[in-house]
Amino acid sequence: MTETMDKLRDKDKIVLQAVQEGNDDIQKITETTILENHEVNYCFTKLEDLDLIQVEKPDGYTTRLVNGQKRTFQSPKNAQITSQGLQALEENQQEEKLDQFENLSHRELVEKTRQHEAEIQRLKNQIANFRKQVRKHLLE
């Protein structure tokens, strides 16, 4: 699946993320991103070819508020993310998290590890205290 994400440009990833977040047609995506209509349309084609989304072109017209004005236009293409698309986004997010640590120095990694270990210990202590409280409450 990472091969698929390697084929995607940043624009494609933005559109895929937008579809996953519920901006499911070209007009909504152009309104919420800096991409233009033809760019989103091309991304739809590319993402559909890679089986990351399913695209549907409804008939008729749609009336919406655009920039504060009521507009009627031909119904835009709709997209739904596929399970492969969801998997690709998840893998991309995991990869971005790994990249975040890749650029840290040895000292920064050691400090991060110590912080995480301290946080884990704090959480373990809280869970132990909570268990004691629950047991005490159940015995009353």
The pLDDT value given to residue 1: 55
CA 10, CA 120: separation in Å to the nearest integer? 35
* 79's tokens: 């997209």
Residue 115 C-beta-side C-alpha neighbours within 13 Å: 6
Instruction: Read off the tokens for 107.
Output: 């000292």
pLDDT score at 55: 92
Of 85, 95, 94, 91, the closest CA to residue 21 belongs to: 85
**pLDDT value of residue 32:** 87
12 Cβ contact list (under 8 Å, min separation 6): 43, 46, 47
DSSP for 57-84 reads ---SEEEEEETTEEEEEEPPPEEEE-HH
| Buried-state track 33-70, b at ≥16 Cβ within 10 A, e below 16 | bebeeebbbbbbebbbebebbebeeeeeeeeeeeeeee
Q: What was the pLDDT predicted at 2? A: 59
Give the per-residue pLDDT at 65: 81
Question: Could you list the mean pLDDT of each consecutive 10-residue stretch along the chain, which spans 140 residues?
Answer: 73 91 89 90 93 91 84 89 90 76 84 92 94 89
